[in-house]
Every structure is written in structure tokens, then in C-alpha cells.
Amino acid sequence: MISSSARCALMVFLALGLLAGTPARADAAKVLRIITWADYVPAEVVAQFRKETGIQVEVTLSNNEEMISKLRATGGAGFDLAQPSQDRILGAQQEFGIYKPLDTSKVRLDEFVPELLATVRTNATLGGRLYGLPYVWGTEGLVYNSKRTRISDYQDLCKPELRGRTAVRLKRPTLMAFALASGTNPFALYGDTKAYTALMQQVGKTLAACKANFRFFYDNKDQLLNGMRAGEIYAAMMWDSGGWALNRENPDIKFINPRSGAIAWMDTFALPARGRNDAGAYAWINFVMRPEIAAKVARSIGNFTAARGADQLMDPRIRAQFAATFPDGLKNIKWYPAIPSGLEEIEGGVLDRVKAAD
């Protein structure tokens, strides 16, 4: 997608670098460049992988939007493996062509939990070819400090006594959560642009009216965790792993499944279109999907992985926390379906208006 002049500028820059005698890069097959989320590639696992295969892993931390933007800017080059959420693959692929299809014969598919694999197959298949494999999944729900308040659903963040004491991300999950809380399932309206726009505008109004309650819109997990720890934030939308981490430090802080249902996400393995080390990427996928390695990853992230049998090796404390948050199992959980391209533009306009509200 990068236009010719920008590429030309890049070439000039690279040529200058070569003239200056930049040492040749390490052999591409010996380096695996992964763009991923914090904690997804623990140092311990990287060291073990290197010992076994001789491949050095380079990690770039990111989030869904940045992953797509970075790969778009280079036409899918610069990384050998990406970890977007399963619902964000299809639209980005249709729009920008940043991934290449996976060769499932190179992966041990029986290592994956079949239900999770089936979900990704449904959401990340384009033209009969699969673009993602499941890695880690979790939920986004509510976290609150029970010494300060008690909440049970998303819209409780807007209770008057929580003025300036709550936080959410100014991103699409918040729109989805408040839509669910209003009693309408936004995912059912993905195909109906008109109804979806109306729903989003209504959610935007709710959030704008609630803005005085939000102390900040957080961009990363640590910002929220710090706010909760410092006692500045009483209640917030949060990922389960962050909520449980807070709960382990301070039992007064609870992570709950909201009445309207937590939203479940799943992050995947996807191959950037112009990655240089596919063999290394497949080797990594097979490596981290071994139950004992997956368990190490799970400990680092604090979420369950898609590796079969790894949840038996999971930290018993996290299993207990999971059971406490979801007493009925995964019945009241909403999985993200693939986002049709174009919807994010509607949401973007709504989010801008929330940001500008007084």
C-alpha cells in the first residue's frame, strides 16, 4: 500500500546506509521478528527456543491498531509473525492485504483446543484460506475496589457517586460493552450498517454523558493498574488478567463478569505478507503450543492459551480466580465476530465525539 515516493525515500535512505558500510544483517533464517502484546513472549521461553533451534527472537510490543498500521505502512514487511485479535484479521486483510495464508500442514493442529480453532476458522478464513491460528484468549469485564463501591454491570461505571473515579479505553470494546449493557447485541447488527450506526450514536451519547465519571481513558494496562493501586480509580473496564493480578495483590479488588456478559477476545498467530522467516514462525508456533511451554506463556500473561492440556498446568490460583469470576462457566460470554471493514469508521466518529464532549 505504501506509495512509490515514500518507497523511493526509503530506498535512498537504505542506499545511504549501505554506502556508509552498514554491516550485513544477521541471516534472516536465524532471526524471528514478532510483533505482539506485552507479556506474550516471555524471555524464558525465548531463551529455550534459541537453545533448541538457534533462532533469535526479536519482540516489538504493540496493540491491534498499531499492528495493522505498521504492517500496512510496509505492505506486510518488517515482521515475521504478528498476533492480532481474531476479529481484526479479516477486515485488515481485505482492505490492506497485509497477511499471507497459513500452511496448516506445517503446524501440529492437534495441539490446539478444537473449539478455539473452530472459532478462528470461522472468523479468519478468506477465499477458503486460513489467516490465523489461536494463541491466547481471555475476557474483558469489570474490576472494582469493594472497599469503595460495588458494581455489577458496565453502565454502573456511570453512577453519580463514581464521578472521576472510573476509567475505560476510548476504543471499540467500550462501545461494545455499553451497547450490550443497553440491552442490544451490537454483534447481531454488524451486517446492518444503518441500525449499527444508530446504536453506536446512542452509545456515544451515553458515554459522553458519563464522561465526568471517567478520570482518564487508558491506553495501556499499566496506566489502569497504577490508578487502581494508587486508589485513584475505584472501578473500571479491564481485561481478566489485569483484574486478577490486582486481586492477587489486594483481595478487596474484584474482577467480575458483568451482568450483560464479559466480552471474549482471542489473539492469534498470523503471518505478515512479506515476512522473511516463515519456517522460523512455524517452528515458534509449534514450540509455544507444546503444553508445558504454553503453560509458561500462560503464567507470564495470566490468561489461558489455546494449547490443549495447558490449562491443567495453569497456576491453580488463576484457575480459582477464573472459577470465582465465571461461576457458570463460559455461558454468559460474548465472543467478538470478525469486524466487517467500514464499521470502524462509524465507531471512530462516535469515539471522537465522546472525546470532545465536555
Partner 1 sequence: MPETAVTALWYRRLVLALLLAPALLWLFALIILPHLDLALLSFRERVAPRQYVVSLAQYRTFFGEPLYWHVFVRTALLSALATALTLLVAFPIAWIIAKLARGRMSALLFVVCLIPFWVSETVRTLGWMILLRESGVLPALLVHLGITRQPVELLYHDATILVGLVYTSLLFMVVPLVGSLESLDNALIEAAYDLGGKGWSILREIVIPHAAPGITAGCIVVFMLTLGNYLTPTLLGGKNSQWFTEQIYTQFITRFNWEQGAAFGFLLLALSTAMVWLGLKISGQRFSDVMRRA
Residue 207 or 262: which CB sits closer to partner 1? Answer: 207
How many CB atoms lie under 10 A from the CB of residue 104?
13
DSSP 8-state code for residue 41: S
Interface stretch with partner 1, choices 52-60, 176-184, 253-261, 347-355 (CB under 8 A): 347-355
Q: Taking CB under 8 A as the rule, does residue 69 contact partner 1?
A: yes
Rule CB under 8 A: which of 71-90 touch partner 1?
Answer: 72
Q: Taking CB under 8 A as the rule, does residue 356 contact partner 1?
A: yes
Q: What is the DSSP string of 134-178?
A: EEEEEEEEEEEETTT----SGGGGG-GGGTT-EEE-SSHHHHHHH
Nearest approach in angstroms of CB 92 to partner 1 is 8
User: Is the CB of residue 102 less than 8 Å from the CB of residue 126?
Assistant: no
Q: Taking CB under 8 A as the rule, does residue 315 contact partner 1?
A: no
Q: Taking CB under 8 A as the rule, does residue 161 contact partner 1?
A: no
Residue 45 or 354: which CB sits closer to partner 1? Answer: 354
> In which residue are the cell numbers 457458570 written?
328
Q: Taking CB under 8 A as the rule, does residue 13 contact partner 1?
A: yes
Measure the CA–CA gap between 242 and 10, rounded to whole angstroms. 40
DSSP 8-state code for residue 1: -
Binding string, 230-249, against partner 1, x = CB under 8 A? xxx-----------------
Q: Taking CB under 8 A as the rule, does residue 19 contact partner 1?
A: no
Residue 12 or 320: which CB sits closer to partner 1? Answer: 12
Nearest approach in angstroms of CB 6 to partner 1 is 5
The residue among 346, 340, 335 whose CA lies nearest residue 120 is: 335
Q: Taking CB under 8 A as the rule, does residue 68 contact partner 1?
A: yes
The residue among 2, 67, 46, 56 whose CA lies nearest residue 25 is: 56
Binding string, 129-158, against partner 1, x = CB under 8 A? ------------------------------
The residue among 311, 341, 287, 338 whose CA lies nearest residue 130 is: 338
Q: Given candidates 99, 131, 187, 214, which one binds partner 1 under the rule CB under 8 A?
A: 214
Nearest approach in angstroms of CB 128 to partner 1 is 18
Torsion of CA 36, 39, 40, 42, to 10 degrees: 120
**Chain positions contacting partner 1, by CB under 8 A:** 3, 5-6, 8-9, 12-13, 16, 65-66, 68-69, 72, 92, 94-97, 164, 170-171, 211, 214-217, 230-232, 341, 344-345, 348-349, 352-353, 355-356
